[in-house]
A and B are shown apart, each in its own frame.
With several copies, the nearest count.
Chain A
Amino acid sequence: MTVRVLLFGHYRDAAPPEAEGGAFALPLPDGATVADAARALAERDGRFADLLARTRVAVRAEFAAPDTRLAEGDELAFLPPMSGG
């Protein structure tokens, strides 16, 4: 399956070249979790090694957990500590 990964803050600066607005496709084995996706990203690029430790995650724009299972086409966002306001 393929999910759509969204990166923010300094992680977006490390997004792969094909990313648009911090978004890019990530192929994953069926049944993969949020944590599996983070591991796949860390294997691609060492700058994502601390991704899950430093971010909250959202799946389909709702807060999710590392063990949340992903489905085909899900939007998976890694959210660094926020600084709006």
Chain B
Amino acid sequence: MILLTTEPLDPAEATRHVMTAHDGAYVLFVGVVRDHARGRAVTGLEYQVYAPMAEQQMRRIVDAVRERWGLACAILHRYGYIGVGEASVVVCVASAHRAEAFDACRWAIDTLKADVPIWKKEFAANGTFWIEGEDSVPAAVGGAAEAAS
């Protein structure tokens, strides 16, 4: 399952969706907004998303995990403003065996970061910045950053 939402994420929801009585383990990755980045204090992030494409790309990752590993995968991503300490992304993979669950979960989050059209705007002590891969670009003051519908 996939979920793209402005509401707080519940990792247990991802777990419930992937676990069956046949599975002996799950691996969960949770990304959380931290209080610093690139040496700057950060007070929060705003995630901008190209929603229809992001959902499609997330669904493809879930499908690829099923095809390549035969495993169930759930991906939740929050967008809009997210404060420090709150979860921005949850990836959960269930498996009978742990090695595959680790491999698949790691592949899923790596692929999400590369290919799912979501961007973070960082509210830092010294300004507001768009994070575009390795670059951070000053953002327009007061610029609205709503999700594209």
Contacts and interface: CB of A to CB of B under 8 A. Distances in A.
Contacts of B147: 21
A21 B149 contact: yes
B50 A77 contact: yes
Contacts, number: 90
Interface stretch (A7-15, A27-35, A37-45, A66-74): A7-15
Interface footprint category on B: 35 or more
A22 B148 CA distance: 7
Contact of A84 (B52, B89, B138): B89
Given A9-B119, A85-B109, A80 B133 contact: yes
A21 B117 CA distance: 15
A3 interface: no
A10 B132 CA distance: 8
Nearest to B25: A85
A9 B132 contact: yes
B56 interface: yes
A12 B52 CA distance: 18
A17 interface: no
Contacts of A8: 48, 50, 117, 119, 148
A10 B54 CA distance: 18
